[in-house]
Amino acid sequence: MLAVGLVKSLEGMKLPFGIEVVGFSEEEGVRFGVPFIGSRALVGRVDEELLGRKDEQGVSVRKAIQDLG
């Protein structure tokens, strides 16, 4: 929310660069026991081991991502 507030505080100011705000869920690693899944995906650091990790219901990271579309 801090990033959104900071961008809003610019009040339309023109900058010589673009700003993108990205929000992730499950960055704490509660569901799959590994943190920063969304951040890792953004920077290209997702591997087969991560995608194969499963939650308590047996749903893999890969399946959860597919289900979200």
For residue 12, the model assigns a pLDDT of: 86
User: Letter for the amino acid at 47?
Assistant: D
For residue 25, the model assigns a pLDDT of: 81
For residue 47, the model assigns a pLDDT of: 94
Are residues 32 and 54 in contact, defined by beta-carbon separation less than 8 angstroms?
A: yes
Q: What is the pLDDT of residues 13-52, one digit of tens each?
A: 999 999 999 988 879 999 999 999 989 989 999 999 999 9
pTM: 0.69
What are the contacts of 26-33 at 24+ separation with CB within 8 A?
31/55, 31/64, 32/61, 32/64
Looking up tokens 């308590």 gives 56
